[in-house]
Each structure stands twice: as C-alpha cells, then as structure tokens.
Amino acid sequence: MGRESLTGRVAVVTGAASGIGAAVVDRFLAEGAHVIAVDVTDPATGRCEALGVTGDVSAAATWERVEALARAEFGRLDVLHSNASVVVRAPAHELAEDDWDRQIAVNLKAAYLAVRACMGLLEAGFPERGAGSVVLSSSVHALAGLPGHPAYAAAKGGLVSLGRQLAVEYGPRVRVNAVLPGPILTPAWDGIGEEDRRRSAAGTAAGRLGRPEEVAAAVAFLASEESSYITGACLLVDGGWTAVKDSA
C-alpha cells in the first residue's frame, strides 16, 4: 500500500456491506484506521477488525447508535463516509411515491442525519488532529441526465449542493467533499445485462468499468490529511465518462 495516512484515525463508513463501501472499509483498515461499518444488512461480515452497526441510515436512531459507539469506543471521530444507497429505476411518471421518498431518504437525507449526529465529534479534533473529513458518495448522475433515475439523480445532485453548504458552514474544523463515481462494477450492477455493461464501458475514456477499489483510493485521499486544502469539492472517479459525454 505504501502509505499509512489514516493510522489511528476513526472512521464511519455506510453502505459498508457491499461494493464501494466494503472496498472503503478494507482500504481504511489497511491504512490503519479504526472503522465503524454501517449497513442495513450485516456490515462486518468477514471484517472482524471493523465494528459493525446494523441499521437504516435514513433513521435518526441509527445515527444516535453510531455516534454513541464512536464516543464510547474511541472518544473521537475523524472521518465520515456517507455512501449507502438504493436505486429504483423508473421514469418519473411511473415511479411510485414511496420509491421516490425512499431514494431521497437513503441517498440524501441520511447524509444530513449523519452530519447532525456526528458533527460535534468530527469538529472536536480540530486543530490538534487537523480537520475532520466528510466524504459524500454522489454520482455522475448529479451532472448528466440518464433515463430512469429521477429520484436517484435528484438525491445525488442534492449531495453535491449539500457538500458545498456543509464545507462552508463547518470549515475550517471539518472538510466536506463529494466523490462522483462513474460506472463501477459492484453488486448494484447485478441486474444490468452484458450489452448495457459493454455500452457503459465503451462510454468511458478508460474503456472499461471501474473497480470499487479505485473509488476507495479516492475516498481514502479525501479522508486523509493529504487532501488538507480540498473542501467543498467534487472528485470525479469515472474513467473519463463525463469527459467523453461533454465531448459528444
């Protein structure tokens, strides 16, 4: 790995049971962080070094448990990666109201609930340990329209705005940034056929789908002091997908 930039840091990661969240947990642990892994399904499977919290990130009660655990176990919190997500694919006129509400709640409201519960701990390390770091998992859907994702795209766009807002509000004590992944091969792609995968890969400058570990590397950078002068920013991790689209 080469660098140990998260040694001794305490991090919360949501959506930790699968895909990008699981890769971030592994990366954070490999860099020496203490990790609280949160997911609606068992988040700590195969990762006995992480503390697991099973809960719905769109419920305030989950965040009370997470904050209490960080306080009791470590007395501090340095990094919050809000990453859990659900997507229901349907055009707006066919999307059930419950599915709209659920996607906004899990993808967007959860970030607010997380910050509301955890900001006190995140701020407390400044200036001795540097600024706390919040990383929000947005998406290229925040920037480009793709059919069938009205609530998901609205939530991901909201996370970009929320990140900027929080960066201004809580700087310099806490930095807040968003990662915008492009097509990353995770279990979220299980229902997507070969032809669509091939088309997505061909739509990138990299010529392939991304790996969860490649997003985890970007999250680790934003979580660490190596990004100490980066806040309110969006970091694309999309293999050049948006660059190709912008060039069309």
Ligand X SMILES: NC(=O)c1ccc[n+]([C@@H]2O[C@H](COP(=O)([O-])OP(=O)(O)OC[C@H]3O[C@@H](n4cnc5c(N)ncnc54)[C@H](O)[C@@H]3O)[C@@H](O)[C@H]2O)c1
Among 13, 57, 131, 174, binds ligand X (CB under 6 A): 57
User: Is 152 designated active site?
Assistant: yes
13 φ/ψ angles, rounded to the nearest 5 degrees = -130, 125
Supply the minimum distance, in Å, between the C-beta of residue 183 and ligand X.
5
| Candidate list 112, 152, 170, 229, residue with the active-site label | 152
From the list 92-100, 142-150, 182-190, 218-226, the region that binds ligand X by CB under 6 A is 182-190
SS3 101: helix
Contact 218, 237 (CB under 8 A): yes
150 binds ligand X (CB under 6 A): no
Are 10 and 36 within 8 A, CB to CB? yes
d(CA 208, CA 235): 19
Distance from C-alpha of 208 to C-alpha of 206, rounded to nearest angstrom: 6
Report the first-to-last Cα separation within the chain, whole angstroms.
37
Q: CB nearer to ligand X: give 39 or 125.
A: 39
Which range binds ligand X by CB under 6 A, 29-37, 115-123, 185-193, 240-248? 185-193
Among the listed ranges 1-9, 78-86, 92-100, 118-126, the one in contact with ligand X (CB under 6 A) is 78-86
Write the DSSP symbol of residue 188: G
Least distance from C-beta 13 to ligand X, angstroms?
10
Quick check: 103 binds ligand X (CB under 6 A)? no
Indicate whether 39 belongs to the interface with ligand X (CB under 6 A): yes
- Should residue 174 be labelled a site residue for ligand X when binding is judged by CB under 6 A? no
If one asks whether residue 52 binds ligand X (CB under 6 A), the answer comes out as: no
When the beta carbons of 78 and 238 are compared against ligand X, the nearer one is: 238
Size of the site for ligand X (CB under 6 A): 26
Exposed e or buried b per residue across 212-242, where buried means at least 16 C-beta atoms within 10 angstroms of its C-beta: bebbbebbbbbbbeebeeebbbbbbbbbbbb
**Residue 142 in tokens:** 């925040």
Binding status of residue 114 toward ligand X by CB under 6 A = no
Q: Is the bond preceding residue 172 a cis peptide, omega within 30 degrees?
A: yes
Answer for which of 19, 52, 163, 239 binds ligand X (CB under 6 A) is 19
Euclidean distance between CA atoms 162 and 156, whole angstroms: 10
Cα separation, 237 vs 154, in Å, equals 19
Amino acid at 141: H
Binding mask 188-207 for ligand X (x = CB under 6 A): x-------------------
Decide: 118 and 214 in contact? Cβ < 8 Å: no
Active site residues: 152
Binding residues for ligand X, per CB under 6 A?
14-15, 17-21, 39-41, 56-58, 83-86, 106, 137, 139, 181, 183-184, 186-188
